[in-house]
C-alpha cells in the first residue's frame, strides 16, 4: 500500500510562489506514475501535472504550463510541484495521486479513476 502525504499549501498573494511536496511511505515511490490534481468548491477534481516513474517525462495542462513544474526525487520518496506566478484561479485543494507503472502516464495522466493511491490534500489559497 502506497501512503501519500501532501504538504506545502499556504495562503499567498497573486504572483507568489509555493512548492508542494508529496511524501510516500509504505512502499517506494519508485515504479509509480505520480500526478497532481486540484479541486475547488463546486468543481470537479482536475488533473494538472503528472510524471513518469523515472521522472524522465512530465505533462502539464495548458493553464499551468510555464508556471508550474513537477519533479520527483525517488531517493527521497518525494514528488514536488513548484508553482510560480500564482493566480486567484489556482486556489484549490491540491492532491497527489499514484498509480503503479507508467501505463497511466501514457494512457490517462489526468484521469482520477486511473490512480489507486491518494493523499489527503493541501490547501492553496491565492488572494490579495
- β pairing state of 32-39 and 46-51: antiparallel
| pLDDT for residue 100 | 95
Summarize pLDDT for 31-63 with one digit per residue, the tens. Answer: 999 999 999 999 999 999 999 999 999 999 999
Summarize pLDDT for 6-39 with one digit per residue, the tens. Answer: 999 999 999 999 999 999 999 889 999 999 999 9
Nearest to 72 by CA among 36, 25, 115, 34: 34
User: What distances in angstroms separate CA 126 from CA 19, 40, 97, 107, 110, one per listed residue?
Assistant: 14, 12, 23, 32, 23
Amino acid at each position: 500500500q502506497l501512503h501519500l502525504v501532501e504538504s506545502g499549501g499556504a495562503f499567498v498573494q497573486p504572483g507568489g510562489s509555493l512548492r508542494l511536496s508529496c511524501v510516500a511511505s509504505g512502499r517506494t515511490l519508485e515504479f509509480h506514475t505520480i500526478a497532481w490534481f486540484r479541486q475547488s468548491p463546486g468543481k470537479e477534481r482536475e488533473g494538472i501535472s503528472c510524471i513518469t516513474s523515472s521522472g524522465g517525462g512530465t505533462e502539464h495542462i495548458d493553464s499551468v504550463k510555464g508556471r508550474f513544474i513537477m519533479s520527483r526525487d525517488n531517493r527521497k520518496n518525494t514528488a514536488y510541484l513548484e508553482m510560480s506566478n500564482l493566480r486567484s484561479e489556482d486556489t484549490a485543494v491540491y492532491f497527489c495521486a499514484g498509480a503503479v507503472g507508467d501505463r497511466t502516464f501514457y494512457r490517462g495522466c489526468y484521469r482520477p479513476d486511473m490512480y489507486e493511491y491518494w493523499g489527503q490534500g493541501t490547501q492553496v489559497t491565492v488572494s490579495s
